[in-house]
Amino acid sequence: MPNYYGPLPHSLSLFVAEIPYLIVVVILFVVIEYWLVGWSDNGGDFIFFIYVYTSAFTYVGQWMSALMPNEKVANVDVGALSCLFNLLSGYKLLAYLMPSSYSLAALVGMQFGKIQDVIAVTVNGVMTDMTVAEYIADTYDFRPNCKYNFMAGLIVIWVVLQLAIYLTFKYVGHLKR
């Protein structure tokens, strides 16, 4: 980072500059995909969670670009971090640190957590009938009434990433003089 700007204005400008781009991308791609797939009628929740999820990973990329010495290393590191996020999000202890676990639980809970269609499920060799909502809640613990908890988790990840970007600009420099 050149020394033209302080770390706080630079990190805030990166945050603010990314918001219009993310809004356009979500509108162009997510809205089309959402209705083509045929999800539930409450599209506002889905768009908001996809926006928060997309933003979390965008800000991980911004943090890596600030932390690493050049864009090639940052690109490789973001790819590795994305793989680790998805790989490790299934572990209970690490799931609290992964943005993908929050957004997946919120999206599945919202989309399938209220479906009352009866399905046949085999548990320990015994076939039982249960609703899709019961299956999602019992098997994966994805509940539609917990979506605001997951939203809060994603917003906390946003704030932590913004703080990490600020601290990186303040304490890490790759300038060669």
Q: What is the pLDDT of residue 175?
A: 65
> What residues pair up with 117 in beta bridges, in sequence order?
none
Q: What is the pLDDT of residue 36?
A: 84
The Cα–Cα gap between 144 and 106 comes to 7
Residues (pLDDT < 50) of the chain are 1
User: Identity (one letter) of the amino acid at 57?
Assistant: F
For residue 24, give every residue at least 6 positions away whose Cβ sits within 8 Å of its Cβ, in sequence order, or none: none
Question: Which tokens go with 175?
Answer: 């300038």
Q: What is the pLDDT of residue 42?
A: 78
- What would the pLDDT profile of 39-73 be if each residue is shown by its tens digit? 777 777 777 778 777 888 888 899 999 999 998 99
Q: What is the pLDDT of residue 2?
A: 54
